[in-house]
Structure 1
Amino acid sequence: MTPPEAPLDGNASRREKPPAASSCLQVLKKRSDFLLAARARKQGVGSMMVQARKRREGETEQSDQIRVGFTCSKKVGNAVARNRAKRRMREVARALLPILGKPGWDYVLIGRAETTAARPFEDLKGDLKYALNKLHSPGPKRAAKSK
């Protein structure tokens, strides 16, 4: 079975448009973008930490895109372990962010030691769904102070 974005004749060089999942996600590469996300909303789940922030108007040339970054510290393990964890987070983000992410937002997924690489893939997806729902839900309403 071929993916829906594959050309009918099987020749990838004659494709009219890019694959569906990559068309709405853009990867964060600048350190400044990661630092801005670090100051925004955070939600920790079993397998990763998710940071999210809404970009300001005019901050980037494509304000309707979802941007995502991935990082793992050396606590996750050696380079092989860090890259495996990032590959798994990339795949989960590719599957869920086009559906559950909001245009104009930046997301940073941070891998956790031992759990990101070892957790079953469906549980990783569930963790990211939970984190996105919490990040996009309005916070608890504060009670008005009585005098």
Structure 2
Amino acid sequence: MTQGLVTLRKRADFLAANRGRRIAMPGFVLQLRRRDDGDPAIRVGFTVTKKIGNAVVRNRMKRRLRALARELLPVRGQPGADHVLIGRSGGIERDFATLRDELTRALDKAAKC
């Protein structure tokens, strides 16, 4: 049975994830931080800055990141960890399959450490 995803909402959680491991890919940056609090939930947060574009572009990028997270994190994500996906300017033009491959590689890379 797969563990459900919990969305990060508090700024403090995003700042804590920023102190964790960072894996950069062309379409996004994955930040990963193990919580070590005994809770096996996989938590995920999304960030897209105004440098990426206007609200329409940022929301489109967040929708793509949420779809990727729903698909891959229950299978490849680390239980008991916070995952933050930060959209990059190249991510909106990238093919969705390419983004999926990049997230798979990033999660595999994070699992090795």
**TM-score (normalizing by structure 1):** 0.73
Give the distance between the partners of 1:126 and 1:133, measured in 2 at CA.
11
Partner of 1:111: 87
**Equivalent residue of 2:51, what SS?**
helix
Q: Which has the larger radius of gyration?
A: 1
Q: Could you give the per-residue CA deviations for residues 28-77 of structure 1, whole angstroms, max 9, x where no partner exists?
A: 0000000000011000011000000100225xxxx111000000111110
Q: Pick the aligned partner of 2:57 from 41, 60, 81.
A: 81
- State the shift of 1:134 in Å: 1.0
Higher strand residue share:
2
- Aligned residue pairs total 113
- State the shift of 1:80 in Å: 0.6
Q: Which amino acid aligns with 1:129?
A: T
Give the distance between the partners of 1:56 and 1:31, measured in 2 at CA.
19
Larger relative contact order (Cα-Cα within 8 Å, sequence gap ≥ 6): 2
Q: Pick the aligned partner of 2:96 from 113, 121, 124.
A: 121
Alignment of 1:132 with 2:107, yes or no, is yes
CA RMSD of aligned residues (A): 1.4
Give the distance between the partners of 2:46 and 2:102, measured in 1 at CA.
15
Q: Which amino acid aligns with 2:93?
A: A
Alignment of 1:38 with 2:14, yes or no, is no
Higher helix residue share:
2
Partner of 1:97: 73
Partner of 1:54: 34
Query: Post-superposition, which runs of at least 4 consecutive aligned residues in structure 1 deviate over 6 A?
Result: none
Unaligned residue ranges in structure 2 (runs of 5+): none
Give the distance between the partners of 2:17 and 2:40, measured in 1 at CA.
17
Give the distance between the partners of 1:85 and 1:131, measured in 2 at CA.
18
Give the distance between the partners of 1:40 and 1:102, measured in 2 at CA.
13
Give the distance between the partners of 1:78 and 1:57, measured in 2 at CA.
37
